[in-house]
């Protein structure tokens, strides 16, 4: 299962994973795109999953 393209929370703000790399066992570092369009490489550790979407809040994140 790939994490590329998925949206996670970084300090409560959504970020999209563009690239993930690291030696086996899952990604260690990821390139993420923030809401403002900036891109940064950061550890995957510390990113949190989005809460389950409710039916009434089906708006795009970006």
State pLDDT tens for residues 26-35.
678 999 999 9
Could you tell me if residue 55 is inside a domain?
no
Could you tell me if residue 61 is inside a domain?
no
Strand ranges of the sheet holding 7-10, from the earlier edge strand across to the other edge? 39-43, 29-34, 13-21, 7-10, 48-49
Question: What domain range is 43 assigned to?
Answer: 7-49
pLDDT at 3: 87
pLDDT above 90 for 14? yes
* φ and ψ of 41, to 5 deg: -90, 130
Domain count of the chain? 1
Distance CA 20, CA 4 (A): 7
Could you tell me if residue 56 is inside a domain?
no
Could you tell me if residue 24 is inside a domain?
yes
Could you tell me if residue 17 is inside a domain?
yes
Could you tell me if residue 60 is inside a domain?
no
State pLDDT tens for residues 20-60.
887 777 678 999 999 999 999 999 999 999 887 666 656 66
Could you tell me if residue 32 is inside a domain?
yes
Could you tell me if residue 1 is inside a domain?
no
């Amino acid at each position: 299962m790939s994490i590329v393209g998925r949206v996670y929370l970084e300090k409560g703000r959504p970020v999209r994973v563009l690239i993930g790399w690291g030696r086996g066992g899952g990604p260690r570092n990821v390139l993420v795109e923030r809401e403002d369009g900036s891109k940064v490489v950061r550890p995957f550790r510390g990113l949190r999953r989005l809460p389950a979407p409710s039916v009434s809040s089906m708006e795009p994140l970006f």
